[in-house]
């Protein structure tokens, strides 16, 4: 999509949510976030997209190592990553910080950030490890309706 065709972006410098674009659970999380982010703070990119890979590389997010899938699986390092305020958050830290930025009562979930990340991430990793089996996967990432598409990054927007 060219800049001329793209509607005005509500927040070009806002936090970026990277998600597994072929995971039904992850795509559902994005569909959950969008209507609860009425201010349009969050922007989105699938981990498998050019923009997602560039953001990961630029932030030094490891695609191998503890907790990452084996390279032969071709799977992304996590199901959900938040890039905000110059920092990169993964797993439950990303999910709770996203909740903190939503409208309504969702920010109250941020109280769980006081629990040490290794404990919070036990449940997160269990669900993430089983997400394809429980929720399925798509062969390609589906694009959102036109109105919401302005919040999704493409490679030309993130050098």
Confidence at residue 71, expressed as pLDDT on a 0 to 100 scale: 43
The band of 146, judged by pLDDT with boundaries at 50, 70 and 90, is: low
What would the mean pLDDT of 72-76 be, rounded to a whole number? 45
The rounded distance, in Å, linking the Cα atoms of 136 and 154 is 25
Confidence at residue 22, expressed as pLDDT on a 0 to 100 scale: 86
Taking alpha carbons only, the member of 98, 120, 132 closest to residue 24 is: 132
The rounded distance, in Å, linking the Cα atoms of 11 and 96 is 21
97 alpha carbon, distance to own chain's centre: 11
Taking alpha carbons only, the member of 151, 128, 145 closest to residue 25 is: 128
The three-class DSSP label of residue 122 is helix
| Average pLDDT of the residues of the chain | 79
Confidence at residue 150, expressed as pLDDT on a 0 to 100 scale: 80
Residue indicated by tokens 């071709």: 74
Confidence at residue 129, expressed as pLDDT on a 0 to 100 scale: 87
The rounded distance, in Å, linking the Cα atoms of 141 and 19 is 10
pLDDT score of 74 more than 90: no
pLDDT in tens, 20-44: 888 889 988 999 999 999 999 999 9
pLDDT in tens, 80-100: 899 998 899 999 999 999 999
pTM attached to this predicted model: 0.78
The region of weakest confidence among 4-8, 26-30, 110-114 is 4-8
Confidence at residue 98, expressed as pLDDT on a 0 to 100 scale: 97
Confidence at residue 9, expressed as pLDDT on a 0 to 100 scale: 42
The rounded distance, in Å, linking the Cα atoms of 17 and 82 is 5
pLDDT score of 159 more than 70: no
pLDDT score of 78 more than 80: no
């Amino acid at each position: 999509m060219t800049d001329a065709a793209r509607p005005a972006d509500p927040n070009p410098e806002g936090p970026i949510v990277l998600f597994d674009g072929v995971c039904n659970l992850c795509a559902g999380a994005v569909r959950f976030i969008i209507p609860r982010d009425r201010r349009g703070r969050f922007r989105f990119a699938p981990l498998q997209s050019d923009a997602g890979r560039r953001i990961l590389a630029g932030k030094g997010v490891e695609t191998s190592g503890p907790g990452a899938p084996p390279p032969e699986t071709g799977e992304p390092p996590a199901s959900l990553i938040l890039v905000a305020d110059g920092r990169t958050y993964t797993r439950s830290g990303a999910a709770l910080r996203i909740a903190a930025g939503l409208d309504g009562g969702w920010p109250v979930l941020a109280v769980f950030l006081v629990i040490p990340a290794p404990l919070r991430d036990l449940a997160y990793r269990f669900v993430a490890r089983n997400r394809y089996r429980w929720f399925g996967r798509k062969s390609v990432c589906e694009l959102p309706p036109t109105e919401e598409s302005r919040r999704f990054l493409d490679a030309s927007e993130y050098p």
